[in-house]
Chain A
Amino acid sequence: MNNNLIIINVLRFFALILLQVLVLNNIQFSGYINPYVYVLFILMLPVQTPGWIVLISSFLLGISIDMFSDSLGLHATASVLIAFIRPNIINILSAKEAFVAGAYLGIKYYSLKWFLTYALILVLIHHSILFYLEIFAFREFFHTFLQVIASSTATLILIIIGQYMFYKPIK
């Protein structure tokens, strides 16, 4: 990674934390929808980033979100897990579609379909772990399941809107 790329990623790290705790954590739609867009940081790290950097930065990201939401360890657990399985998902998806190893993972270098599938899998895993750990029981299984689906959809929509706002796809 060259210096420019490091700076962009560090900036994205802090920008997403602030966006999450100051804006998105205050959004309330009927108690079912809590978008956690900060995972975009983990999604967008370049493919060639060394594994230990991905893991440690995801841990720091999760812990920072936890500090603001009084849920110490909750977001960190979910974030570290998707950081760990991220390379596997990329490998599986890339077998189907050839891609250029871009500077970062986003619709600028990858097709929308590819990025959406990739984001969908990781966001679903992340949100499931988050909501089921938070309640820490299966006794409200269906209610929590609805929360996972509704919140994942909201997160994905926000991520895709963000992609089109900041990055134009290369034709």
Chain B
Amino acid sequence: MRNLLIFLWKRNLFFLFLLLEVISFTLFIENSYYQKAAFINSSSSISGSIYQIQNNIAEYFSLKVVNTTLANENAHLRSLSTDNYLKINNTVFTKNDTTYKLQYQYVSAKVINNSTNKRNNYLTLNIGKNQGITKDMGVISSRGIVGIVKDVSDNFSSVISVLHKDSKISAKIKKYGDVGSVLWNGYNYRRASLIDIPTHVPITRGDTIITSGFSSVFPEGIVIGKIIDHRIESGNTFYTITIEFSEDFNKLSYVYIIKNFFKNEQNDLEKKTQNE
């Protein structure tokens, strides 16, 4: 026993090294699994507030781009308004509507930290639990999808970007409705690949890819990007498709978080079916 203690003491540095490495590595592995909650990340209050200060300064430099984007979006929304449509039938029809029930609600948020240059990218948003944000909500921008909320603190939330090695978005081709998955392979933040599209579908360059609405995270029909390249590798029954994201993730400033009021119902049912 005494010899063992002497041995340990002589090699104390090595054991301290081993201990610290085991701690770091465990934290790393624990934290790596997709959407697993962690205590320390950029939604924690210290780093959250520092990023908030940095963003307050940096946002002045992108005001012009932000204004243009918001103006474009306003114009688009305005064109959708019913005031723009000619009334053909003047019979007043009050709809006390029970056919429609609100499923998705959008909450606007500001991006206060963002990256596109890593293999696994994350964003930090300036709203959190106090504003009703919870884990696993979808995040989109006016131009396309952005990511999924990974973690929330009282006033900040941390989002796993689409630019992440574990991200897999259920998508479909708008024109034909065939469903596949969008994966990011890490080389270029503007591009991703679309898999599982069978070769009999007559796709062409420029076809729009939208969300399928199968996962409870994103509603159907949100734009993901466009096909810029497709080919069939010999012996394969699926296309190899490259798409370009409609959103430039480097310029993100305002995003919307999607609340799905029927998410639990859908998830519970699906889980129940799978377990049987």
Chain A residues with a Cβ under 8 A of chain B: 21-22, 25-26, 28, 31, 34, 51-52, 55-56, 59, 62-63, 66-74, 76-77, 80-81, 83-84, 131, 133-136, 140, 143
| Residue B42 is within 8 A (CB to CB) of chain A in the complex | yes
Contact B117 A31 (CB under 8 A): yes
| Residue B221 is within 8 A (CB to CB) of chain A in the complex | no
| Residue B69 is within 8 A (CB to CB) of chain A in the complex | no
Contact A77 B24 (CB under 8 A): yes
Contact A67 B21 (CB under 8 A): no
* Other-chain residue from B28, B54, B119 in contact with A72 (beta carbon distance below 8 A): B28
Q: Which residue on B lies nearest to A31, using beta carbons?
A: B117
Q: Is the interface of A mostly helix, strand, loop or mixed?
A: helix
| Residue B245 is within 8 A (CB to CB) of chain A in the complex | no
Q: Which residues of B contact A67 (CB under 8 A)?
A: 40-42, 44, 46-47
Contact B117 A84 (CB under 8 A): no
| Residue B186 is within 8 A (CB to CB) of chain A in the complex | yes
Contact A143 B17 (CB under 8 A): no
Q: Which residues of A contact B25 (CB under 8 A)?
A: 73, 77
Q: Which residues of A contact B16 (CB under 8 A)?
A: 51-52, 55-56
What are some 5 contacts across the A-B interface (CB < 8 A)? Answer: A22-B54, A34-B118, A51-B16, A68-B51, A73-B31
Which are the 10 A-B pairs with shortest beta-carbon distances? A73-B28, A73-B27, A76-B24, A72-B31, A70-B122, A77-B24, A84-B17, A51-B13, A28-B117, A73-B24
> How distant is the Cα of A55 from the Cα of B21 in the complex, in angstroms?
10
Interface centre among B23, B24, B115 (most CB of A within 10 A): B24
Contact A81 B117 (CB under 8 A): no
Contact B187 A31 (CB under 8 A): yes
Interface centre among B29, B41, B119 (most CB of A within 10 A): B119
Q: Which residues of B contact A135 (CB under 8 A)?
A: 119, 165, 186
> How distant is the Cα of A31 from the Cα of B184 in the complex, in angstroms?
14
Q: Which residue on B lies nearest to A29, using beta carbons?
A: B117
Min CB gap B105→A, angstroms: 27
Query: Which residues, 45 to 96 on B, are CB-close (under 8 Å) to A?
Result: 46-47, 50-51, 54
| Residue B212 is within 8 A (CB to CB) of chain A in the complex | no
Q: Which residues of B contact A83 (CB under 8 A)?
A: 17
> How distant is the Cα of A11 from the Cα of B24 in the complex, in angstroms?
24
Contact A28:B250 (CB < 8 A) given known A140-B186, A143-B186: yes
* Other-chain residue from B26, B28, B40, B189 in contact with A74 (beta carbon distance below 8 A): B28
Q: Which residues of A contact B20 (CB under 8 A)?
A: 55-56, 59, 76, 80
Contact B118 A134 (CB under 8 A): yes
Interface centre among A51, A55, A72, A84 (most CB of B within 10 A): A72
